Structure 1
């Protein structure tokens, strides 16, 4: 009993330590002072109003959201067939292809951003939304591929073979058997991929312009010349959006699906 209480106390302390920066950011965004301060000197929502009234911030939020959503969707479309091919088939160059997919995880994003700028400049569409999208697909796909690959088991093949034996077409088997079984890995990878795209600065900064900025690049440029509670307000808005998204995911699909899948894999 004592050991359990000690573990619970340590867990609560660790949780408080992780939540403390979020509390500081939200508190600093509510201050009435014209500079960052915590505890806040009075409470006001004027910095949130200033951020939402600034068209550059609103445009940056929209660009980041659309960019992350499109990159995640494209990454899912690439990762699912790639994961199935790498897990179930042997072919020449398989290991090279797997290493190629994993390379964005180890290469610095600054290097990728610089290379992307030169590549898209050669093709004539540098510093455009399409150039950003190509780069973000490159860095998002490995996360989704790893997540999807992690849920593939031998049982999947048996179920697919049973479906085929019962007369289902390959497309019906994929839609009704394979895809539902991959759902936890797809959702997990999509979350990681979306977050990776949303917070990226290093790759994005090479391909943005004054009219095409993601929110992390917008903040990076802003803090070089001014530091005020508006920055904390933008960060707090991002935190609120994350909480809302996670809550909606839990209400719609249930986040316990991930732990259930892990337990099933261990039991298998």
Structure 2
């Protein structure tokens, strides 16, 4: 039976957790609520209920184009980052060659360097090679900043990996290719999915790097919103932001259904 001090401690811990959750969720709830207001300006609590701001947002094809561009960059950069990050993680954890620590540091450097510095450097680099302010330049930049998230989560999964499982598969006649896809990949899958989810989010919300290589016809949605709020602040901004929140919620639900959030969290412990 718990003592009085244990009950008080447990109550305070639960209260602290709920306060933290409220602190994180309240801004999102406010943004969603404001997106339905009938006023021409941002106000909370919202006045009335209307879908006008969503209709205006969806009627503007430039915003839809920007969302399509951001989605394309997010998924393409994440896919490329997976193709780069997984082999690099395997090499770092299993190679006996000297210099693997340096390789690890190089690939994780974008986590330390300010993104705006990477964006400025990429602009100079792309200008020298003749592909500045293009989709390719944006994609290269997004790959650079999301690879570390794939690498870190896969390294965490490989840190507790039992190599005897692979050895058993090889002893039973499986090829290295089959062993990776039938043994290694399923085991590191939660960490890989967690890294991919982080990569998608980081790519989707990036402004600092993207702003250096955008044009009027090539503008991701975060950059477009950044430019918009410099001249006007109305509930359409909240409607666009709320739409991204809905997408994030769907992504989390799908992650829980197909992978299991508990497994993803456990893979990072």
* TM interval, short-chain normalised: over 0.9
- The within-5 A match list for 1:198-217 is 198-217=204-223
Instruction: Provide the rounded CA distance (Å) in 1 between the counterparts of 2:93 and 2:200.
Output: 24
Query: How many residue pairs are counted as aligned between the two chains?
Result: 263
Matched residue of 1:34: which SS?
coil
TM-score by length of 1: 0.94
Partner of residue 147 from structure 1, selected from 140, 146, 153: 153
1:165 aligns with 2:167: no
Q: In the alignment, what sits opposite 1:59?
A: 65
Q: In the alignment, what sits opposite 1:235?
A: 241
Partner of residue 222 from structure 1, selected from 223, 228, 231: 228
Equivalent residues of 2:119, 2:208 under 8 A apart:
yes
1:193 aligns with 2:227: no
The alpha-carbon deviation at position 43 of structure 1 amounts to: 1.1
Partner of residue 56 from structure 2, selected from 50, 64, 70: 50
Instruction: Provide the rounded CA distance (Å) in 1 between the counterparts of 2:50 and 2:21.
Output: 27
Gaps of 5+ in 2: 1-6
The alpha-carbon deviation at position 262 of structure 1 amounts to: 5.3
Matched residue of 1:240: which SS?
helix
Matched residue of 2:102: which SS?
helix
The alpha-carbon deviation at position 260 of structure 1 amounts to: 4.2
TM-score by length of 2: 0.94
The alpha-carbon deviation at position 68 of structure 1 amounts to: 0.3
Matched residue of 2:47: which SS?
coil
Q: In the alignment, what sits opposite 2:35?
A: 29
1:78 aligns with 2:84: yes
**C-alpha spacing 1:259/1:115, structure 2 compared with 1 (3 Å):** closer
Equivalent residues of 1:110, 1:202 under 8 A apart:
yes
The alpha-carbon deviation at position 99 of structure 1 amounts to: 1.2
Equivalent residues of 1:156, 1:178 under 8 A apart:
no
The Cα RMSD (Å) is 1.3
Q: In the alignment, what sits opposite 1:256?
A: 262
Of 253-262 and 27-36, deviating more is 253-262
The alpha-carbon deviation at position 122 of structure 1 amounts to: 1.0
